[in-house]
């Protein structure tokens, strides 16, 4: 049942800035669509460079989201369950990529995993593995900037819905793993869904950290944002291509949002 | 198939805590009502027994086994002490049968058997037709019945009932009291209550708890006939 709130009205004078806010979000996208050259659009978005970039973006975005789930769910659980000081500390650490310019993150990743660093040398000696400027570096850079979105969304949900039901499950004799699988995680599904959407969206939009840590090699590390930047700067292709690729990225994001929403269980909406 | 109660045990309950000093001996299958003014320590007693709070001093023992003291704490999941509170707290993402089966599974039944046990419980509490409903599709009284079945399906050696009827209307409360009386079926239980009707319908023995101490512990009729304290007298006056 929905009911309009009639008790507390919103002051009328707030409407103007609110409308301007919407305009700020929508008008640039309208301008983008307006600049599209529809005649060459199909050709632009199906060019080998565009398709390579799209494939790489989707795959690396999925990879980064999977990595964030594997690392982020346990971290969110730990944060939700630990005492106020530890969880405040963890939350501050997790938020670092949110406030850090992604470029800085890229440089930092490069210094950590580069050939000259102890970690990079160890990976190279032990596993013959070099991360920088590989598709794996794309995934890692995306996961670095996207992880906070997943962790913070999931942690908030677990904190707000979990406790009472988890205690009840314990008094019924359920051991921690059973509580986690059958109570905590199912109840956290709405937060996990939101976290995954935000995480994936942030990952496929990633530019700065990827550019510095993974580079801009077409077909290897050139994701959509890097392809757009390259096209916009006119290296071989024109602005029309940049616009077309931007629209493709926008469409991809919208499709992902719609897919995830359709999958979302109705009972927990 | 045994769909419910574990073998009944003697329960010698000792809760010694800063503000609480309670020693209770329950015979197997005995149901004891605990009444006391607000702040007497009823909730502390239940939380200490179920393990939902940690003790910083004192100890909790049931059947001579220390469940908690200043140094260690047996987690609630390993105590086999069930709890039915005022709020049924059914898992909202599971059906009624799913809720009960969860408890049976946690008590060690294999998956298929747990579902059978849960369906059997739904039949016993008169809700056989509603097994597939989710908690938000049940009435308050129905939810509390499912919560009772769930608590018993976990096969507790001691069941704590914390004002289990107080959020229900008079009629639903009376019905649920009957269901509880019928299905405790040998489960040793402590029922904390504000209402004499709960003791009258379920517990032949009444314990009066005041300021963390037991001030009277006697058969219900004796407390009503000869209340030991003004509070016990006030309770008796509602008979």
Which chain B residues touch A167 with a CB distance below 8 Å? 52, 76
d(CA A46, CA A37): 14
**Do residues A179 and A166 touch, judged by C-beta distance below 8 A?**
yes
Residue boundaries of the structural domains of chain A = 39-263
Which among B189, B133, B188 is positioned nearest to B160, based on CA atoms? B189
B197 touches chain A (CB under 8 A): no
Strand, coil or helix: B153: helix
| A176–B103 C-beta distance less than 8 A | no
Per residue of chain A (269 residues), give pLDDT as tens: 455 555 667 788 888 899 999 999 999 989 888 888 888 888 888 888 888 898 999 999 999 999 999 999 999 999 998 888 999 999 999 999 999 999 999 999 999 998 888 888 888 888 888 889 999 999 999 999 999 999 999 999 998 887 889 999 999 999 999 999 999 999 999 899 889 988 998 999 999 999 999 999 888 999 999 988 888 886 555 678 888 888 888 887 788 778 767 665 543 43
SS3 B15: strand
Element (H, E) at B13: strand B11-17
Answer whether B50 touches A (CB < 8 Å): yes
CB pairs A-B closer than 8 Å: 67
The separation between CA A72 and the C-alpha centre of its own chain, rounded to angstroms, equals 12
Buried b (16+ CB within 10 A) or exposed e, A84-109: eeebeebeeebeebeeeebeebbbbb
* Helical (H) or strand (E) element with B68: strand B65-69
Which residues of A make CB contacts under 8 Å with B? 164-165, 167-176, 178-179, 182-183, 186-187, 267-268
Q: If you ran DSSP here, which 8-state letter would residue A9 be given?
A: P
Q: Which of A173, A181, A183, A267 to probe by mutation at the B interface, max B CB count within 10 Å?
A: A173
CA–CA distance from B186 to each of A19, A52, A152, B2, B221 (Å)?
A: 67, 70, 48, 13, 22
A101 Cβ contact list (under 8 Å, min separation 6)? A208
Among B74, B89, B93, the residue to mutate for chain A (most A Cβ within 10 A): B93
- Does the beta carbon of B81 lie under 8 angstroms from any beta carbon of chain A? yes
Is the domain defined by A39-263 classed in CATH 1.10.3720.10? yes
Question: Which residues, including other chains, have CB under 8 Å from residue B80's CB and lie 6 or more apart?
Answer: A173, B6, B154, B155, B156, B157, B158
Domains of chain B: 11-91+157-237 (3.40.50.300)
Are the beta carbons of B203 and B235 closer than 8 angstroms? no
pTM here is 0.81
At what angle are helices A185-204 and A48-81 packed, to 10 degrees?
Answer: 140
ipTM of the complex: 0.87
The alpha-carbon gap from A86 to the nearest alpha carbon of chain B, in Å, equals: 20
């Amino acid at each position: 049942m929905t009911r309009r709130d009639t008790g507390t009205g919103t002051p009328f004078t707030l409407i103007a800035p609110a409308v301007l806010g919407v305009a700020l979000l929508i008008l640039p996208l309208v301008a983008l669509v307006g600049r599209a050259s529809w005649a060459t659009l199909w050709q632009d978005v199906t060019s080998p460079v565009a398709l390579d970039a799209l494939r790489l973006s989707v795959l690396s975005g999925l990879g980064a989201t999977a990595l964030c789930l594997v690392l982020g769910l346990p971290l969110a659980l730990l944060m939700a369950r630990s005492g106020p000081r530890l969880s405040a500390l963890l939350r501050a650490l997790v938020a670092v990529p949110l406030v850090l310019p992604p470029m800085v993150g890229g440089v930092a990743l490069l210094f950590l995993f580069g050939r000259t660093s102890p970690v990079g040398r160890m990976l190279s000696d032990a596993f013959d593995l070099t991360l920088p400027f590989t598709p794996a570096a794309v995934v890692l850079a995306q996961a670095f900037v996207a992880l906070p979105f997943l962790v913070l969304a999931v942690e908030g949900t677990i904190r707000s819905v979990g406790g009472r039901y988890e205690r009840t499950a314990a008094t019924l004799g359920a051991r921690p793993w059973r509580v986690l699988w059958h109570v905590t995680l199912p109840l956290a599904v709405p937060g996990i869904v939101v976290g995954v959407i935000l995480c994936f969206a942030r990952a496929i939009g990633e530019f700065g950290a990827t550019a510095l840590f993974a580079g801009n090699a077409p077909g290897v590390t050139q994701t959509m944002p890097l392809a757009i930047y390259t096209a916009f700067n006119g290296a071989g292709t024109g602005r029309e291509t940049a616009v077309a690729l931007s629209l493709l990225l926008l469409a991809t994001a919208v499709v992902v949002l719609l897919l995830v929403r359709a999958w979302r269980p109705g009972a927990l909406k | 198939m045994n769909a419910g109660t574990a073998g009944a045990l003697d329960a010698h309950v000792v809760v010694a805590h800063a503000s609480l000093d309670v020693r209770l001996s329950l015979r197997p299958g005995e149901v004891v009502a605990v009444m006391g003014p607000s702040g007497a320590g009823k909730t502390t007693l239940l939380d200490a027994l179920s393990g939902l709070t940690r003790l910083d001093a004192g100890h909790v023992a049931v059947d001579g086994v220390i469940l908690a003291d200043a140094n260690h704490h047996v987690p609630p999941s390993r105590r086999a002490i069930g709890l039915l509170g005022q709020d049924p707290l059914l898992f909202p993402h599971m059906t009624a049968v799913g809720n009960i089966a969860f408890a049976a599974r946690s008590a060690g039944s294999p998956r298929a058997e747990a579902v059978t046990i849960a369906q059997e419980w739904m039949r016993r509490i008169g809700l056989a037709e509603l097994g597939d409903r989710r908690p938000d599709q049940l009435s308050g009284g129905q939810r509390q019945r499912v919560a009772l079945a769930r608590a018993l399906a976990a096969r507790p050696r001691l069941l704590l009932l914390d004002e289990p009827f107080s959020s229900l209307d008079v009629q639903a409360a009376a019905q649920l009291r009957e269901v509880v009386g019928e299905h405790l079926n040998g489960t040793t239980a402590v029922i904390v209550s504000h209402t004499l009707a709960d003791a009258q319908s379920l517990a032949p023995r009444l314990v009066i708890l005041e300021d963390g101490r037991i001030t009277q512990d006697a058969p219900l009729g004796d407390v009503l006939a000869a209340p030991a304290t003004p509070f016990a007298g006030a309770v008796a006056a509602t008979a």
